[in-house]
């Protein structure tokens, strides 16, 4: 297969369906109204409810949901070959992920920026809301564990990215101060921010910070506790906006590079299209493509974490209902395109990377050795970064070292964004749980709420086995996606009541996902048998999931007339 063909097909799919399927969802299901006040205006508080420029909000949302997921997941799933992973990315992204993200965002907007957990309680029962809150909190612990492990590995392997990532934070604070306190022109602020961003990258090359993974865990833990407690305009909004430029630049550059190498005749896929039904992936053991594929690819196709972001921070900053399609629906499509580039780059250059590092993976043993060796040598991100760098070198003559560091910086910038957004959302969930159970005031404190969450997450990352933490995080995450989809299906069917068969565009993917992920998590517990804490969280998640589905069925049977219009 030629890389130019794959990239162009992906672009055609995403642009075409955004203009057709996405706009139909906007007009026929959500019925977005530009004149309806959004929560950012109705409930403005200068901390969480702050209307944002659509490009800034798109940057925040995209950077928060992207993280390392759309890169790491597809990179590991290459063990099954490039074709199965690519099909799941496209299928899952178009028919599940983007629909899920958009409806989670817009249903929250219609309920004053309330979380998807709160909406579940509103549409089903108070018990549902409590179960959902607990589920989300446990899932976010795993998000922190998984992404701290990813970032720690990147910073150790590419210290230039560590320096630049830390300097980015200072640049974001400066931009936030210029935009919201000095109130300079938006375009001028953007130019200043981008110039400082380039300087930060240059300083990263000049002064790389070398430290152990455990040291970075401590630094990251302290950072996310502080960052999650600051008002959104100081760090979150400007940092995510600037990060989005890095990703857009990387996406455009990568997309063009793999079209160019394809046209040159260099971009032929050398990795196998398909290896075996049960490649050695999860825990290094034979893993059936169904039902485990959603656990591994995660954010590249769909992610429940996105519903928490969409209904947690994004919905509180939406300036106009019509912006929701670009932010929620378009953000997920952009992520799918990124995953396509990841798959194409490794499919072309993966074998070359293994050979350059003397790693014993070849075409014939790919299905048995690929994932095991990638994890053993700590190149979960590196296999993509190096493949991407080879592509830039062959297409445009960019030095390999420069391309590899840029790719690592690219991933770490977004993983860091996901990490502190997850902490903020985990704080919200913990505080809402404490409100429900009338817990002690001290436990409602934002600092205490953040510390408890981060302590659990960092502890798991500290000594956790990555190939076990990642599927556990992914399983909880995808289960969350199916529950969020079911909540959205109730909202669509009972409140929005669209004409024709549009409600089934939500219900069918939600049920398919629920069955798939439930089967995958049971398989994970029985076959992989992870350690105590991961097993405990997974079992709790499964029990809460069963309770939620029971409540969903009860609510589904109630007549639509019992539900008030939102």
3-class DSSP string for 366-396: HHHHHHHHHHHCCCCCHHHHHHHHHHHHHHH
Instruction: Give the separation between CA 439 and CA 413, rounded to whole angstroms.
Output: 36
Instruction: Indicate the CATH number of 3-563 among 3.30.1380, 1.10.4160, 3.30.70, 1.10.10.
Output: 1.10.4160
Q: Which stretches does DSSP call E strand in 95-229?
A: none
Judging by beta carbons within 10 Å of its beta carbon (0-12, 13-18, 19+), is residue 551 exposed, middle or buried? buried
Give pLDDT tens digits for 137-192. Answer: 888 888 888 888 878 888 887 888 888 888 888 888 898 888 888 888 888 888 89
Helix H or strand E encompassing 288? strand 286-288
Asked whether the predicted pLDDT for residue 475 surpasses 80, the reply is: no
Neighbours of 452 (CB within 10 A): 16
DSSP code, position 499: S
- Predicted pLDDT of residue 348: 96
More confident residue, 351 or 155: 351
* Helices and strands, counts by H and E, the chain: 24, 2
Instruction: Give the separation between CA 89 and CA 519, rounded to whole angstroms.
Output: 20
Asked whether the predicted pLDDT for residue 250 surpasses 60, the reply is: yes
More confident residue, 47 or 112: 112
> What whole-number percentage of the chain has pLDDT above 90?
38
More confident residue, 330 or 294: 330
- Predicted pLDDT of residue 470: 66
More confident residue, 412 or 493: 493
Give pLDDT tens digits for 177-230. Answer: 888 888 888 888 888 988 998 898 889 888 888 998 889 999 999 988 888 878
Model pTM score = 0.85
Cα angle, residue 59 at apex, residues 98 and 155 outer, rounded to 5°: 100
More confident residue, 445 or 99: 99
Reported confidence tier of residue 468, pLDDT bands at 50, 70, 90: low
What residue ranges do the domains of the chain occupy?
Answer: 3-563
More confident residue, 355 or 235: 355
What length does the chain have? 566
- Predicted pLDDT of residue 339: 93
Reported confidence tier of residue 439, pLDDT bands at 50, 70, 90: confident
Range of lowest pLDDT (236-245, 397-406, 460-469): 460-469
Reported confidence tier of residue 465, pLDDT bands at 50, 70, 90: low
Reported confidence tier of residue 433, pLDDT bands at 50, 70, 90: confident
- Token code pair at residue 210: 């070398």
Mean pLDDT, range 395-422, rounded to an integer: 83
Q: Chain centroid to CA 449: how far?
A: 23
Asked if residues 6 and 340 have their Cβ atoms less than 8 Å apart, the reply is yes
CA distances for 66 relative to 78, 293, 416, angstroms = 19, 18, 10
Asked whether the predicted pLDDT for residue 448 surpasses 70, the reply is: yes
Asked whether the predicted pLDDT for residue 566 surpasses 60, the reply is: no
Which residue reads 């030629």 in tokens?
A: 2
Asked whether the predicted pLDDT for residue 471 surpasses 80, the reply is: no
Neighbours of 286 (CB within 10 A): 15
- Predicted pLDDT of residue 436: 81
Mean pLDDT, range 374-401, rounded to an integer: 88
Burial track 363-381 (b if 16+ CB lie within 10 A, e otherwise) = eeebbbbbbbbbbeeebbb
Asked whether the predicted pLDDT for residue 106 surpasses 60, the reply is: yes
Give pLDDT tens digits for 540-559. Answer: 878 878 888 899 999 988 88
């Amino acid at each position: 297969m030629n890389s130019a063909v794959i990239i162009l097909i992906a672009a055609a799919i995403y642009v075409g369906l955004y203009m057709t399927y996405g706009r139909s969802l906007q007009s026929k299901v959500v019925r977005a109204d530009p004149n309806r006040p959004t929560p950012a205006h109705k409930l403005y508080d200068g901390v969480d409810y702050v209307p944002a420029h659509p490009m800034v909000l798109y940057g925040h949302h995209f950077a928060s949901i992207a993280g390392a997921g759309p890169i790491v997941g597809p990179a590991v799933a290459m063990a099954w070959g490039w074709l199965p992973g690519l099909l799941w990315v496209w299928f899952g992204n178009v028919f599940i992920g983007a629909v899920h993200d958009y409806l989670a965002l817009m249903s929250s907007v219609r309920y004053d920026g309330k979380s998807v957990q709160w909406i579940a309680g509103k549409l089903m029962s108070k018990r549902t809301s409590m179960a959902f809150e607990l589920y989300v909190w446990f899932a976010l612990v795993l998000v922190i564990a998984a992404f701290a492990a990813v970032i720690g590995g990147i910073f150790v392997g590419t210290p230039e990215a560590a320096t630049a990532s830390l300097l980015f934070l200072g640049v974001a604070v400066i931009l936030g101060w210029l935009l919201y306190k000095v109130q300079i022109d938006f375009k001028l602020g953007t130019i200043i921010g981008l110039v400082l961003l380039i300087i930060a990258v240059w300083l990263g090359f000049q002064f790389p910070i070398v430290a152990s993974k455990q040291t970075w865990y401590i630094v990251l833990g302290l950072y996310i506790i502080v960052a999650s407690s600051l008002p959104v305009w100081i760090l979150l909004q400007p940092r995510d906006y600037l990060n989005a430029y890095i990703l857009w630049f990387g996406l455009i550059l990568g997309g063009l590079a793999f079209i160019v190498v394809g046209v040159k005749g260099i971009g032929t896929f050398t990795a196998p299209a398909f290896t075996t039904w049960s490649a050695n992936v999860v825990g290094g053991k034979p893993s059936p493509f169904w039902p485990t594929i959603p656990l591994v690819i995660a954010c590249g196709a769909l992610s429940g974490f996105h519903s928490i972001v969409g209904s947690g921070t994004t919905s509180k900053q939406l300036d106009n209902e019509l912006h929701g399609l670009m932010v929620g629906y378009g953000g997920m499509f952009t992520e799918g395109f990124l995953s396509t580039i990841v798959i194409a780059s490794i499919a072309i250059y993966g074998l070359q990377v293994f050979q350059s590092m003397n790693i014993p993976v070849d075409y014939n043993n790919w299905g048995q050795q690929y994932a095991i060796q990638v994890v053993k040598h700590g190149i979960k991100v590196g296999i993509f970064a190096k493949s991407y760098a080879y592509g830039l070198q062959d297409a445009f003559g960019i030095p390999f070292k420069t391309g590899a560091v840029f790719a690592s910086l690219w991933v770490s910038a977004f993983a860091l964004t996901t990490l502190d957004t997850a902490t903020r959302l985990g704080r919200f969930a913990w505080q809402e749980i404490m409100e429900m159970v009338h817990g002690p005031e001290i436990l409602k404190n934002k600092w205490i709420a953040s510390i408890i969450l981060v302590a659990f997450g960092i502890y798991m990352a500290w000594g956790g086995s990555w190939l076990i933490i990642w599927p556990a995080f992914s399983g909880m995450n995808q289960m969350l996606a199916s529950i969020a989809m079911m909540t959205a299906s109730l909202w669509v069917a009972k409140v929005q009541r669209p004409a024709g068969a549009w409600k089934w565009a939500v219900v069918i993917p939600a049920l398919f996902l629920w069955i798939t992920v439930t089967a995958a998590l049971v398989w994970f517990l029985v076959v992989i048998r992870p350690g105590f804490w991961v097993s405990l969280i997974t079992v709790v998640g499964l029990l809460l999931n069963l309770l939620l589905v029971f409540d969903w069925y009860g609510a589904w049977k109630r007549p639509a007339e019992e539900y008030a219009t939102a």
